Amino acid sequence: MSAHDHHSDPLPDTAQGILAEDRAHMFYSWSAQRQLSPMPVARALGSYFWDYDGNRYLDFASQFVHVNIGHQHPKVVAAIQRQAERLCTVSPAFGNDQRARAARLIAERAPGDLDRVLFTNGGTDAVEHAVRMARLVTGRPKVLAAYRSYHGGSHLTLHMTGDPRRWPIDTGAAGVVHFFGPYLYRSAFHARTEPEEAQRALAHLEQVIALEGPGTVAAVILEPVVGTNGVLVPPEGYLAGVRELCDRHGILLIADEVMAGFGRTGRWFAVQNWDVVPDLITFAKGVNSGYVPLGGVLMGPRVFDAFADRPYPGGLTYSGHPLACAAAVAAITAMSEEGIVENAAHLGAEVLGPGLRELSERHPVIGEVRGLGVFWALELVRDRGTREMLPPLGTPGGPMDELAAACRKRGLWPFLHTNRIHVVPPCTSTEREIREGLDILDEALSVIGSHYR
């Protein structure tokens, strides 16, 4: 930065200066505004980012569980720069080489016959459009969504979300009905084994469909592996059972892969762990690791053909934005050439899974370890016998806030939610970085472990 540039800026390029400007003008999502003091980030590289004081943090949150390819991947940065020099933006009514190529690369990796893509700006509007498509294709109004789910922050997608963030805006009038998904550790069905949980969760869903009226249900939407609400990995047979129920009643199955897709579970799409083909897949985040905002809906012939001869009522100014699609092409190509999806699978099976289970042997505060690939959660409890949760994040003076502080002090940026640590590093992480993170978690858990046995 030149001396002129520095002096023309009324606020110095320091954490305090940035924070002053931020607090004067910014409005943050999901937050009470007066209580905020966000940490400005100066730069990032690979699995790490730095603050303005030069402190380095190992990013075990992948920011919002979206930086799958790591920070500042040189091939993706270069692709965005090249595209910016040639064509920054264009109307979605025109053909565009990067959009066409991104759609092909995504379709080639999708399960079954899903081979068409509508691009959106992110995950929320991908889910909005998938639901709109399902309702138009079936002529039915209702959508079934799970409790302990997150589908987005817009009016419809927040109504579909099955967690407390929905409550302040829920009118009960969005055509959404909630059901219980499988969660053996806290089973709603008094199940003791995975097969029991799968069977009883499916019987419950079958009953909900029957009582709502199968002819009124357009779609069942679920996260193949539940993300923010617990990294809940479904028991064997559950997703196949949901697919069968949907087929029996002419209901479309929507897989919300916004968080689970593009390598996070060690497969391109999480549903591929169970060989299930949904009617629609929503994606965002990992498709280009959020370098430029991008999401989309993947569909097969049943949905695509419905709009072959009638217009689809919907669109976005930035649908298939050239910079975002150039980033996606570069990211997907790099993921393929560098074996990044395979690396995520390897880390899960050989490093993260065993390492987290080892931590649970040493720390009684860990009630359960669950996950796949680079998508894991530790559920923290006061007592393993009763499974009573630790007081949730945000409890003044509580253990979760203490745990967060202990991690950050040691150079680890964790993803904490209610009584859980989500362990969600980039898919590009090395074994050494994972072990570094596990060592810090070990120390941080020891800090709070003395209070909770």
Question: What is the Cα 227 distance to its own chain's centre?
Answer: 6
Identity at 179, one-letter amino acid code: F
Question: What is the Cα 385 distance to its own chain's centre?
Answer: 31
Tell me the pairing of strands 56-59 and 412-413.
parallel
* Cα 49 from Cα 58, distance rounded (Å): 7
Angle at 26 between CA 1 and CA 393, to 5 degrees: 110
pLDDT in tens, 174-223: 999 999 999 999 999 999 999 999 999 999 999 999 999 999 999 999 99
Q: What is the pLDDT at residue 208?
A: 98
What mean pLDDT comes out for the span 235-247? 98
* Cα 419 from Cα 400, distance rounded (Å): 7
* Cα 305 from Cα 301, distance rounded (Å): 5
| Full-model pTM | 0.96
User: How does residue 7 score in pLDDT terms, banded at 50, 70 and 90?
Assistant: very low
Q: How far apart are the first and last CA of the chain?
A: 53
Q: What is the mean pLDDT of the chain?
A: 95
pLDDT in tens, 359-407: 999 999 999 999 999 999 999 999 999 999 999 988 888 999 999 999 9
Other Cβ atoms less than 10 A from the Cβ of 83: the count is 23
* Cα 90 from Cα 250, distance rounded (Å): 38
Least confident of 1-10, 140-149, 241-250, 369-378: 1-10
Contact 288, 98 (CB under 8 A): no
pLDDT at 9 over 90: no
Instruction: Work out whether the CA dihedral 55, 434, 267, 333 comes out positive or negative.
Output: positive
